[in-house]
Structure 1
């Protein structure tokens, strides 16, 4: 069986909305990617926090790439259960 290895540009990934598969919640859009340059692979995606803290500083949410479950045409599905703060 052939493994699906579709390619996506960074611009395309940043334009896709991130959805948590556990809750269906919209988490936002990719702010940044953490990349291992020696291995040429993505380590994690960085999302902006929904809750700004004092003085306008916010803590970003980092979701490991292994938690990215599916990349669709316009959304990225992630298992963000342990990384997303509950309301």
Structure 2
């Protein structure tokens, strides 16, 4: 039986197998609590300007789009990735103005 721990997944880089582009590292997984099966892996969006302007959308890759889990990388098939939008943080350089 092949198995992998979630902590092992978090150390792996995700690569699109159709064009070789790096997508990022696994940051989280989504689990169906009724079936106890992994639904997707989530790659957090990159921070914008050191996090001052929030971060880009998360990339959510469905489990069925994973082609291969290797020792260092995860290859995913070309698929329309799902993006989760984060709430934008308002910044004010003038703290007394509303």
Q: TM-score range by the shorter chain?
A: 0.7 to 0.9
TM norm structure 2 = 0.71
TM norm structure 1 = 0.79
SS at match of 2:10: helix
Structure 2 unaligned spans of 5+: 84-98
Please tell me whether the aligned partners of residues 63 and 80 of structure 1 are also in contact (alpha carbons under 8 angstroms).
Answer: no
Distance change in 2, residues 1:81/1:52 (3 Å): farther
Count of paired positions: 81
1:28 is aligned, of 21, 24, 28, to: 24
Larger radius of gyration: 2
RMSD: 2.4
**Residue 37 (structure 1) shift:** 1.5
Please tell me whether the aligned partners of residues 17 and 78 of structure 2 are also in contact (alpha carbons under 8 angstroms).
Answer: yes
CA distance in 2, matches of 1:48, 1:32: 8
